[in-house]
Amino acid sequence: MKNKISQLIELVRSLVWILKISYSINRFKFIVRIFVTIFYVVLPIISYWLLKQIIDTSLVLKSTSIDVIKPVLYLIALKVSFDVGWYFLDSFLEGM
């Protein structure tokens, strides 16, 4: 157990050391990378939530009940949101 904890501590120290070096070399680029990384993590979640709201609103406005189609539409929204996230993440990684 102590060996695992010491390995975890060494990993955290290494990551902090890498972040310190990256920050000292170019502070602006470091801050921009942190914000862009957070954006790309949050983007699929926001897009899925937005598509889910659109689906819920459109199904409520419909006079007939379409409970069978709702899970399928949610899966399509999930697929679209992950595709959008992967597209932007791929373009970000190519730009690095």
Structural domain boundaries, residue 74: 2-95
Give exposure, 25-36, as e/b (b: 16+ Cβ within 10 Å): eeeeebeeeeee
Q: Which amino acid is at 46?
A: I
Q: What is the mean pLDDT of residues 68-79?
A: 79
Would you place residue 74 in the very low, low, confident or very high pLDDT band (cuts 50, 70, 90)?
Answer: confident
Output the average pLDDT for the chain.
77
pLDDT at 66: 67
pLDDT in tens, 16-55: 777 777 777 777 777 777 777 777 778 888 888 888 888 7
Number of domains in the chain: 1
pLDDT at 64: 59
